[in-house]
A and B are shown apart, each in its own frame.
Chain A
Amino acid sequence: METVKFTIDKKTIEVEKGTTVLNAAKKAGIDIPSLCYFSLDGMKIENKPGGCRVCVVEVEGRRNLAPACATEVTDGMVVRTNSMRVLNARRTVLELILSDHPFDCLVCAKSGNCELQSLAHRMGVREIPYQGAQSTYRKDTSPSIIRDVDKCIMCRRCEMMCNDVQTVGALSAINRGFMAVVAPAFEMNLEKSPCTYCGQCVAVCPTGALTEVDHTRDVISALADPTKTVIVQTAPAVRAALGEEFGLEPGTLVTGKMVTALRELGFDYVFDTDFAADLTIMEEGTELLDRLSRYLNGDKSIKLPILTSCCPAWVNFFEHNFPELKDVPSTARSPQQMFGSIAKSYFAKKLGIDRKDLVVVSIMPCLAKKYECQRDEFKVDGNPDVDFSISTRELANLIKLANIDFNSLPDGDFDHPLGESTGAGVIFGTTGGVIEAAVRTAYELHTKKPLPKITFEELRGLEGLRSATIDFDGLKLNIGIAHGLGNARKLLEDVRDGKSQFHAIEIMACPGGCIGGGGQPLHHGDASILRARQKAIYQEDANKPIRKSHENPYIIKLYEEFLGKPLSEKSHHLLHTHYFDKSTQIIVE
Chain B
Amino acid sequence: MAIIKLPECKVNQLKEICKSFNNDSGELINVLHKAQDVFGYLPAEVQEIVAKELNVSVAHVYGVVSFYSFFTMTPKGRYPISICMGTACYVRGAEKVLDEFRRELGVQVGESTPDGRHSLACLRCVGACGLAPVVMVGEKVYGRVAPEDVKGILAEYANL
Contacts and interface: CB of A to CB of B under 8 A. Distances in A.
Interface of A: 163, 168-176, 183-186, 192-194, 581-589
B5 interface: yes
Which interface residue of B3, B5, B49, B62 has the most chain A CB atoms within 10 A?
B62
Contact of B67 (A176, A184, A186, A589): A176
A174 B62 contact: yes
A584 B1 contact: yes
A91 B11 CA distance: 52
Contact of A586 (B11, B56, B59, B63): B11
A589 B1 contact: no
Interface string B86-109: 000000000000000000000000
Contacts of B2: 192, 584-585
A186 B51 CA distance: 13
Contact of A589 (B7, B58, B63): B7
B15 to A, nearest CB: 11
Interface of B is mostly: helix
Chain B interface residue number, banded: 20 to 34
Interface of B: 1-8, 11, 44, 47-49, 52, 56-63, 66-67
Contacts of A581: 1
Contacts of A173: 63
Contact of A585 (B1, B8, B57, B67): B1
B4 A186 contact: no
Which interface residue of B44, B49, B59, B67 has the most chain A CB atoms within 10 A?
B59
21 contacts: A169-B56, A169-B57, A170-B59, A171-B59, A172-B62, A174-B63, A176-B67, A183-B59, A186-B44, A194-B57, A581-B1, A584-B4, A585-B1, A585-B4, A586-B6, A587-B3, A587-B4, A587-B6, A588-B8, A589-B5, A589-B6
A581 B1 CA distance: 8
Contacts of B44: 185-186
A175 B1 contact: no
B45 to A, nearest CB: 8
Nearest to B43: A186
Given A169-B57, A169-B58, 4 more contacts: A169-B59, A584-B2, A584-B52, A589-B7
Contact of A174 (B6, B8, B49, B66): B66
Contacts of A174: 59, 62-63, 66-67
A193 B59 CA distance: 9
Given A163-B60, A171-B59, A588 B6 contact: yes
B3 A184 contact: no
A175 B66 contact: yes
A186 B60 CA distance: 10
Given A172-B63, A584-B1, A585-B1, A185 B57 contact: yes
A185 B59 contact: yes
Nearest to A195: B59
A186 B73 CA distance: 10
A51 to B, nearest CB: 15
